[in-house]
Homo-oligomer: A and B are copies of this chain.
């Protein structure tokens, strides 16, 4: 039985999902992969819990839920930040679920490079550092002979990166096109079915927790644009960065535009498109009843290939446990390669 010591840096919705997923699946993973998963450290933005004997996942979740922080985790709570943890704790795999910052890529960038230099494998759900320094990150992982996985950065529980790399590896991928952001898909779908204005629908989405208090990254297309960069680099082998993407969001879409489209049998969707020539995120007319006609926060992507033709995947683009499932798949794949 091999033991894997895990640090979870970031303990928001996705970080909590990872703890829950490990709690639910660790016995199964022990049996199936002969691997013992142990969370030796977890940190949110202002507090932490550390134990070389392993933290109890359910107690971590309970502590966070009851106090909003991790420092009151019994006996092992504290105030180390992510970088301090990586300096002080003995671990094998970093699960980086910090929030995306598209300007600097931090804190994911520094944490990831530090982990690579120390010979640790990294799994991330953070899009910021990937969208601005993908090539450098991959090169540094390779130089240090460590694994770097990022399935959950695109599409949450809709598998797309592993999907193409593992199940379409006989094909050349020509392009990828799809709905890559769940929040904007929810807003546009509601505007279509309810005939409501953009601003009212955004407010409703915020009340439901589907849109964030500051919705900019979603509604201005930034989140989807980051995903096109990650897909371009990882699947098409293009050396692209965030500034290469032609981005238009949905904040200028009126209910009139949507109802005009509807009359003619069309919908307006925020579509991301990735090819060797172009990275683009923009609202587009798509036919009602077509593969793009998906409601709610669903994501979809159609991969155009040379041998297999078009292959489409549809899945939940967000959700704590759903996104964590992609991280756990990455974790299993890291373990399988050890």
> Shortest beta-carbon distance, A176 to chain B, in Å?
14
CA A321 – CA B324 in complex, angstroms? Answer: 36
CA A306 – CA B21 in complex, angstroms? Answer: 10
Q: A183 in the interface, Cβ–Cβ < 8 Å?
A: no
Q: A332 in the interface, Cβ–Cβ < 8 Å?
A: yes
Give A28's nearest chain B residue, CB to CB: B172
* Contacting residues, chain B, for A325 (C-beta < 8 A): 168, 170-171, 305, 307-308
* Interface of chain A: mostly helix, strand, loop or mixed: mixed
Q: A19 in the interface, Cβ–Cβ < 8 Å?
A: no
Which residue among A288, A291, A324 has the maximum number of chain B CB atoms within 10 Å of its CB?
A291
Q: A313 in the interface, Cβ–Cβ < 8 Å?
A: yes
CA A28 – CA B173 in complex, angstroms? Answer: 13
State whether A316 touches B307 (Cβ < 8 A): no
This chain: how many copies in the complex?
A: 2
State whether B170 touches A167 (Cβ < 8 A): no
A308-B326, A321-B307, A322-B308 known; A314-B315 Cβ under 8 A: no
Q: A199 in the interface, Cβ–Cβ < 8 Å?
A: no
Find residues 303-338 in chain A having any chain B CB closer than 8 Å to their own CB: 305-316, 319, 321-322, 324-326, 328-329, 331-333
A307-B321, A307-B324, A311-B315 known; A329-B162 Cβ under 8 A: no
Give A327's nearest chain B residue, CB to CB: B170
Find residues 164-186 in chain A having any chain B CB closer than 8 Å to their own CB: 166-172
- Out of B309, B316, B326, name the residue touching A157 (CB < 8 Å): B309
> Shortest beta-carbon distance, A234 to chain B, in Å?
14
Against B, the Cβ 8 Å flags (1 = close, 0 = not) of A127-141 are 000000000000000
> Shortest beta-carbon distance, A146 to chain B, in Å?
20
CA A314 – CA B304 in complex, angstroms? Answer: 12
A170-B25, A307-B321, A325-B170 known; A314-B291 Cβ under 8 A: yes
A159-B167, A289-B293 known; A319-B329 Cβ under 8 A: no
**What are 14 A-B interface contacts by the 8 Å CB criterion?**
A24-B307, A25-B170, A157-B307, A158-B311, A159-B168, A159-B308, A159-B311, A166-B166, A169-B329, A170-B328, A288-B289, A308-B322, A309-B315, A312-B313
List the 10 closest A-B pairs by CB distance, nearest first. Answer: A170-B328, A307-B325, A157-B308, A159-B167, A166-B166, A312-B314, A308-B325, A162-B167, A311-B315, A170-B329
